[in-house]
Structure 1
Amino acid sequence: MSLSNSQEGVCAMLSHSMIEQIKCRYREFRREPSAFFWVMFMPVLFMIGLGFAFSSPHFETYGIGYIKSSGATPWVETIEATLTKDPQVKLRTETETELQKLMMRGEIALILKIPADQNITYELDTANPEAVRAQRHVDDVLQRASGRKDSIGTTVDSIKVEGGRYVDFLIPGLLGLSIMTSSLFGVGMTIVSNRKENLLKRYLATPLRAYEYIISHLFGRMMVLTAEFFAVMITGWLIFHFKVYGSWPSFVLFSILGAGAFTSIALLCAARTKSIPMISGLTNMISLPMMMLSGVFFSKNNFPDWLRHVTNFLPLTALNDGLRKIALEGLSIQNLGFETAVLSAYLIIPALITARLFKWF
Structure 2
Amino acid sequence: MALGLGIAFRERPTERAAVGVERGSVAERYAPALGRSSEVELEILSPDSAEDAIRRGEIAVLLTGRDVLTYRYDPARAESRSAQLVADRVVQRAAGATDRVPSVQDRDRRPGGRYIDWVLPGLIGMNLMSTGMWGMGFGLVQMRQKKQLKRMSSTPMRKRDFLLAQILARLSFIVLEVPPIVLFAWLAFGVKVQGSLAALALVITLGAMTFAGLGLLASTRARTIEGVSGVLNLVMLPMFVLSGVFFPASRYPDALQPVVQALPLTALNDALRAIYNDALPFSGYAGELAILAAWMAIGFLLSLRFFRWQ
Aligned with residue 200 of structure 1, among 126, 149, 155: 149
Q: Whole-Å Cα distance in 1 between the matches of residues 35 and 172 of structure 2?
A: 55
SS at match of 1:238: helix
Tell me which moved more, 317-326 or 290-299.
290-299
- The code of the aligned residue for 1:146 comes to V
* Residues 1-361 of structure 1: pairs in structure 2 closer than 5 A: 46-56=1-11, 58-59=13-14, 61=15, 75=27, 79=31, 82=34, 86=38, 112=61, 117=66, 119-123=70-74, 126=76, 131-132=77-78, 134-147=79-92, 149=97, 150-333=99-282, 336-361=285-310
Deviation string, structure 1 residues 237-271 (Cα, Å, up to 9, x no partner): 21232222322112101100000001101110111
SS at match of 1:285: helix
Contact 2:63-2:71 within 8 A present in 1 as well = yes
CA-CA distance at 1:174 after TM superposition: 1.4
CA-CA distance at 1:53 after TM superposition: 3.2
- How many residues are aligned here? 300
Q: Where do 5+ consecutive residues of structure 2 fail to align?
A: none
Contact 1:79-1:142 within 8 A present in 2 as well = no
Q: Whole-Å Cα distance in 2 between the matches of residues 168 and 90 of structure 1?
A: 34
Distance 1:76 1:173, change over 3 A: same
Tell me which moved more, 171-180 or 210-219.
210-219
What fraction of aligned residue pairs are identical, expressed as a percent? 30
Deviation string, structure 1 residues 268-320 (Cα, Å, up to 9, x no partner): 01110223333223222222222232222233333333433432221111111
SS at match of 1:154: coil
Q: Whole-Å Cα distance in 2 between the matches of residues 90 and 259 of structure 1?
A: 54
Contact 1:51-1:167 within 8 A present in 2 as well = yes
SS at match of 1:147: helix
Contact 2:270-2:285 within 8 A present in 1 as well = no
TM-score, length-normalised on structure 1?
Answer: 0.69
CA-CA distance at 1:210 after TM superposition: 2.9
CA-CA distance at 1:328 after TM superposition: 2.9
Question: RMSD of the TM alignment (CA)?
Answer: 3.5
Distance 1:244 1:111, change over 3 A: closer
Distance 1:85 1:333, change over 3 A: same
CA-CA distance at 1:342 after TM superposition: 0.9
- The code of the aligned residue for 1:265 comes to L
Q: Where do 5+ consecutive residues of structure 1 fail to align?
A: 1-45
Contact 2:217-2:299 within 8 A present in 1 as well = yes
TM-score, length-normalised on structure 2?
Answer: 0.79
